[in-house]
Chain A
Amino acid sequence: MSAFFEVSDLGMHIGDTSILRNINIQFREGELTALLGHNGSGKSTLLKVLARQMSPTRGDVSLFGSSFRTTGAREFARKVGYLPQHPPGTDGLTVRELVALGRYPWRGPLGRYNDEDRRLIDQAIVDTGLAQFGHRSVDTLSGGERQRAWIAMLLAQQTRCLLLDEPISALDVKHQVETLRLVHRLAEERELTVVVVLHDVDLAARFCNRLVALKSGQLIADGSTREIMDSGILESIYGVPMGVMERAPGQWVSYVH
């Protein structure tokens, strides 16, 4: 597997506050990675840097070996899709219209949508289980459905990578699991590289195959789920005494002492 993103010596300051310090990490193609850490640890910022929403104060990020600084905006958007933590209100757009906007990186301001585009849009809507909602206004959907509509837009974008910033933080347990299961399934079917910021370490362990943890802007843990789901490491990430049980092979449950 080749490196999708390569982050080298990354630093981020806002004013005097240092948000990220000396981050070196690679994200390999086809991996589903969860970014963990408590509030303010810098995980959302790291994701925004990967999505090119913020430019780092120092260091560099490269995509398939070519530096971020030299990639064009639409070219980048054809490879990387980003879902912000709070997607804005969409002001009356229907689901289908929202998903269709995902074709922008490929068609640009004036290019016509062809049958291929329409097929991809339909496919994205079907894949996210929104077929019945195609002509409903996004604003009238429930939280989970709205989240799926946005993910459908990213799918229509046909990127090889999804960056999701806390996609399940506003959802109930059922919709949390459904959304993550959807992401997991799509990542396998489409061989996507996914980096997702999560709060719930158990859900992260359940659906991701690599866990990366940040604390005070520094990388403190990085490894496979089996390596990270260890009481000592979790304790160092969250700063509270924790324990871990392996309930079944590949399924861990963490708890607070």
Chain B
Amino acid sequence: MYADAASLPRSRPAIPVKLPVAAVILWFGALIASSVPWFGELDLGALISAFWTFDPEDYSSVLAHYSWAPRVSIAILIGCGLGLAGAVTQQILGNPLASPTTLGVEAGGQFGITVATLFAPGLLAFSPDLAAIGGGLLAIGMVIALTWRVGFSPVTVILAGLVITFFLGAMNMAFLLLKGEWLGNLFIWGAGSLVQNNWGPFTELWPRVAVLAILMLLLMRPLQLLQLGQTSASALGARVGLIRALALFLVVLMTATVVSRVGVVAFVGLAAPVLARLLGARTLGSRLLWSTLMGGGLLLLADTLARWASTWGDGSLVPTGTATALIGGPVILLALQSFRNTHHMPGQETSPAGFLPKRRSPLVVSGIVAALLLATVVVSMGWAPGLESWHWTAITQWNEAWVWRGPRLLAAILAGVALGLAGTLIQRMTGNPMGSPEMLGISGGAALVMVLIVLSGAEVGRLGQLGGATLGAAGALGLLILLARKHRFAGNQLLLGGLALYVFMDAGLRLVMASGGTVASQLLNWMYGSTWLVSEVEAFGLLGFTVLVSGLLLLVVRPLTILPLGDTAASSLGLSVSRVRLLLLLLAAVLTASATVVIGPLSFVGLIAPHLARVLGQQTVGHQMIVAALVGGLLLAVADYLSRIVVFPNQLPAGLLAALVGGVYFLWGLSRHGR
């Protein structure tokens, strides 16, 4: 009856050898690297015994006992905890991208501490855990509330988590810009510093981590059922919602406990499970075990690297969080190369989304949006707070007000238009509603080049910046294409790649922040899109440029409609796929770069505008593009206006406001439409 059974392995598949070997190499490497500086001063026995005793006569021994040993211990402890939490998170959501970092839990914890520092310092003195747990729960609560209606579909959860991470990051940044004097130290701390000077934190931390780890392990069997997807898991009698909620709560507790002690140690929770899985940890049990071990080793290694960098550099502090991000990036890229089939994620339902695309007349919609844009321009030019009260500037005096209000407004609108167009291009090209210049790290690539320019101290004009940013954006896109080519632009591979690029940029940024100084504030201003830096010439230059590129876009409307049907269908319709794709990539890169120079890399406009255009009923490429461009312009025009008036006479960066407002809108839209 079943004749097609060939000769097959009869024994149980064993754990591949490379897994323990890699773990041992990682741990030994990290431990040796960490203890190398001490070899000259202490012998091996004394160094090992530094973990529990010291020789009061010997200064090195005291130093090793109170500084080195607790730091090593806490790095391993936190690494293990985060590795386990990451593996559990991935299992809960059936999603190789999930981790405390990508769900916004770490950003939430940091946000909680920031808020507590500013408004309730007493709470921090009482228990820093509470503030961090509150923030973490807030973040995960937002993610859950937003994705509740769509049944926690893994992709949506990650999307919501990422947006919330960016959003809370922007909130943190807003606080920093407004009350910088209070929060300077928070930034070093926020970047994850593991410096220890006694055993107190460790003895306080380990019982909590141990209890949380045991609780997580108790949930192992129900978690295993989640692998079968929601339907089958509940058909087996598991309360899927309850299990997920409980496990997520434990993850939040674990993460918040860590964040409240040492700050954000990003991406260990992502990198460790990814590494364990890549090396062949297959069953849930082995994944949990090896992720825990990998996490400990990874963080110890990262911490050692950070300490070396601090010693070898010019004495400026390199927080461990930066080093983990630098390790996290390559690990994600590695994952990108090796995950064969992540677009079909376990547990993902294949049924179509319960979302019926509506269509509305493009003329009416674009008319309304254009009218709103016009109204914003009029208000922005005319109505402003003065020294005493708000007053109107008569239209005859606009030529006088132009110098102050015109160029920045024009530049903001154009950046919005460019981002709207670029976002539509990328979403259509990748067939991924999450694709956008921000999410795919294309803005990040542009920003990375800008950061490098600022760091090198070279003075380049706007044109140089634009060129550099274009180069960065194109480089990022090119890298993405190269990495994702063999996956044919499957959504999650691209997202992973973008995430890795974002991690790199973020690491660079944190490094600059931690070192402080004028460079940092300059970069901070630009990063969050300070439109007041724009001059008249630049604004008009941008206008010409955008018009030119928009003209080119007419050429690609139809290919862009065909491309999502797949390479085979597209080429059999006579489209030269690779050439069209190259053209599209170039256009998207140029548009992104020109917008990034003005508004910074972090506004959500490139993600929101195309999405909003769809919600407004524009389903065809051409219509979506026009409406997305208008919506993008409108969003940034409003943001620019608000940035001028909200804290008058001071100014906020418009990009930051756009990120805040846009983040709120996007989260709301997500919960309503649940793509």
Which residues of B sit under 8 angstroms from A83, Cβ to Cβ?
A: 232, 235
Q: Is A256 positioned at the interface, with any CB of B under 8 Å from its CB?
A: no
Q: Is B228 positioned at the interface, with any CB of A under 8 Å from its CB?
A: yes
Of the listed stretches B138-146, B217-225, B593-601, name the one at the interface; the rest are far from the partner chain.
B217-225
Taken together as a complex, chains A and B put the C-alpha atoms of A232 and B417 apart, in Å, by 62
Q: Is B236 positioned at the interface, with any CB of A under 8 Å from its CB?
A: yes
Q: In chain A, residues 4-36, which have Cβ atoms closer than 8 Å to a Cβ of chain B? A: 14
Taken together as a complex, chains A and B put the C-alpha atoms of A93 and B287 apart, in Å, by 12
Of the listed stretches A101-109, A220-228, A240-248, name the one at the interface; the rest are far from the partner chain.
A101-109
Check B348 against A88 for contact (C-beta < 8 Å): yes
Check A77 against B236 for contact (C-beta < 8 Å): yes
CB A197 to nearest CB in B, in angstroms, measures: 14
Closest to B240 in A: A73
Which residues of B sit under 8 angstroms from A86, Cβ to Cβ?
A: 350-351
Q: What's the interface size class on B, roughly? A: 35 or more
Which 10 interchain pairs have the tightest Cβ spacing? A77-B237, A74-B237, A88-B229, A91-B346, A82-B235, A105-B237, A129-B2, A84-B231, A92-B282, A132-B5
Mark each residue of chain A from 120 to 158: 1 if its CB lies under 8 Å from any CB of chain B, else 0: 000000000100111111000010000000100000010
Of the listed stretches B8-16, B317-325, B444-452, B522-530, name the one at the interface; the rest are far from the partner chain.
B8-16
Closest to A91 in B: B346
Q: In chain A, residues 28-77, which have Cβ atoms closer than 8 Å to a Cβ of chain B? A: 51-53, 72-77
CB A166 to nearest CB in B, in angstroms, measures: 13
Q: Is A184 positioned at the interface, with any CB of B under 8 Å from its CB?
A: no
Taken together as a complex, chains A and B put the C-alpha atoms of A163 and B344 apart, in Å, by 25
Closest to A182 in B: B1
Check A77 against B235 for contact (C-beta < 8 Å): yes
Q: Is B227 positioned at the interface, with any CB of A under 8 Å from its CB?
A: yes
Name which of B224, B229, B231, B346 has the most chain A CB atoms within 10 A of its CB: B231
CB A130 to nearest CB in B, in angstroms, measures: 8
Closest to A178 in B: B1
Mark each residue of chain B from 341 to 360: 1 if its CB lies under 8 Å from any CB of chain A, else 0: 10011111111001000000
**Given A82-B231, A109-B218, residue A88 in contact with residue B347 (CB < 8 A):** yes
Which residues of A sit under 8 angstroms from B228, Cβ to Cβ?
A: 87-88, 90, 98, 101
Taken together as a complex, chains A and B put the C-alpha atoms of A76 and B9 apart, in Å, by 36
Check B282 against A110 for contact (C-beta < 8 Å): no
Q: Is A117 positioned at the interface, with any CB of B under 8 Å from its CB?
A: no
Which residues of A sit under 8 angstroms from B351, Cβ to Cβ?
A: 86
Check B238 against A104 for contact (C-beta < 8 Å): yes
Q: Is B234 positioned at the interface, with any CB of A under 8 Å from its CB?
A: yes
A-B contact pairs, 27 of them (CB 8 A): A14-B354, A53-B234, A73-B234, A73-B239, A74-B238, A76-B237, A77-B236, A77-B238, A78-B237, A81-B235, A82-B232, A83-B232, A84-B232, A86-B350, A87-B228, A87-B232, A89-B344, A90-B228, A90-B346, A91-B227, A92-B282, A96-B12, A105-B236, A108-B221, A129-B1, A136-B8, A178-B2
Taken together as a complex, chains A and B put the C-alpha atoms of A133 and B236 apart, in Å, by 23
Taken together as a complex, chains A and B put the C-alpha atoms of A117 and B283 apart, in Å, by 19
Check B231 against A104 for contact (C-beta < 8 Å): no
From the candidates A81, A109, A157, name the one contacting B222 in the complex (CB within 8 A). A109
Mark each residue of chain B from 494 to 509: 1 if its CB lies under 8 Å from any CB of chain A, else 0: 0000000000000000
Check B238 against A133 for contact (C-beta < 8 Å): no
Check B345 against A142 for contact (C-beta < 8 Å): no
Closest to B348 in A: A88
Q: Is A97 positioned at the interface, with any CB of B under 8 Å from its CB?
A: yes
Q: Is A94 positioned at the interface, with any CB of B under 8 Å from its CB?
A: yes
Main secondary structure of the interface of B (DSSP, over half): loop
10 A-B pairs besides A72-B237, A82-B232 with CB distance below 8 A are A14-B354, A82-B235, A84-B231, A87-B232, A88-B346, A90-B346, A129-B5, A134-B10, A135-B9, A137-B13
Taken together as a complex, chains A and B put the C-alpha atoms of A101 and B225 apart, in Å, by 7
Q: What's the interface size class on A, roughly? A: 35 or more
Check A88 against B232 for contact (C-beta < 8 Å): yes
* Chain A positions near chain B (C-beta within 8 angstroms): 14, 51-53, 72-78, 80-84, 86-94, 96-98, 101-102, 104-105, 107-110, 129, 132-137, 142, 150, 157, 178
* Chain B positions near chain A (C-beta within 8 angstroms): 1-2, 4-5, 8-13, 94, 218-219, 221-222, 224-225, 227-229, 231-232, 234-239, 282-283, 341, 344-351, 354
Taken together as a complex, chains A and B put the C-alpha atoms of A73 and B237 apart, in Å, by 5
CB B516 to nearest CB in A, in angstroms, measures: 45
Which residues of A sit under 8 angstroms from B348, Cβ to Cβ?
A: 88-89
Taken together as a complex, chains A and B put the C-alpha atoms of A82 and B235 apart, in Å, by 6
Which residues of B sit under 8 angstroms from A157, Cβ to Cβ?
A: 236
Closest to B13 in A: A135
**Given A104-B221, A109-B222, A135-B13, residue A87 in contact with residue B237 (CB < 8 A):** no
Taken together as a complex, chains A and B put the C-alpha atoms of A81 and B10 apart, in Å, by 29
Closest to B242 in A: A73
Taken together as a complex, chains A and B put the C-alpha atoms of A72 and B239 apart, in Å, by 10
Closest to B7 in A: A132
Name which of B1, B227, B348, B350 has the most chain A CB atoms within 10 A of its CB: B227
Check B5 against A104 for contact (C-beta < 8 Å): no
Taken together as a complex, chains A and B put the C-alpha atoms of A83 and B233 apart, in Å, by 11
Check A93 against B227 for contact (C-beta < 8 Å): yes
Check B349 against A88 for contact (C-beta < 8 Å): yes
Check A75 against B237 for contact (C-beta < 8 Å): yes
**Given A110-B218, A135-B11, A142-B4, residue A89 in contact with residue B237 (CB < 8 A):** no
From the candidates A88, A97, A107, name the one contacting B283 in the complex (CB within 8 A). A97
Taken together as a complex, chains A and B put the C-alpha atoms of A86 and B344 apart, in Å, by 12
CB B280 to nearest CB in A, in angstroms, measures: 9
Check A89 against B238 for contact (C-beta < 8 Å): no
Which residues of A sit under 8 angstroms from B236, Cβ to Cβ?
A: 77, 101-102, 104-105, 157
CB B251 to nearest CB in A, in angstroms, measures: 17
Which residues of B sit under 8 angstroms from A133, Cβ to Cβ?
A: 5, 8
Check A109 against B221 for contact (C-beta < 8 Å): yes
CB B226 to nearest CB in A, in angstroms, measures: 10
CB A128 to nearest CB in B, in angstroms, measures: 9
Taken together as a complex, chains A and B put the C-alpha atoms of A53 and B222 apart, in Å, by 18
Which residues of A sit under 8 angstroms from B237, Cβ to Cβ?
A: 72-78, 104-105
**Given A84-B231, A105-B236, A157-B236, residue A89 in contact with residue B8 (CB < 8 A):** no
Closest to A108 in B: B221
Taken together as a complex, chains A and B put the C-alpha atoms of A66 and B144 apart, in Å, by 33
Taken together as a complex, chains A and B put the C-alpha atoms of A105 and B233 apart, in Å, by 10
Name which of A14, A91, A157 has the most chain B CB atoms within 10 A of its CB: A91
CB B363 to nearest CB in A, in angstroms, measures: 28
Which residues of A sit under 8 angstroms from B341, Cβ to Cβ?
A: 89
Which residues of B sit under 8 angstroms from A74, Cβ to Cβ?
A: 237-238
Check B10 against A51 for contact (C-beta < 8 Å): no
Taken together as a complex, chains A and B put the C-alpha atoms of A98 and B225 apart, in Å, by 9
Which residues of B sit under 8 angstroms from A109, Cβ to Cβ?
A: 218-219, 221-222
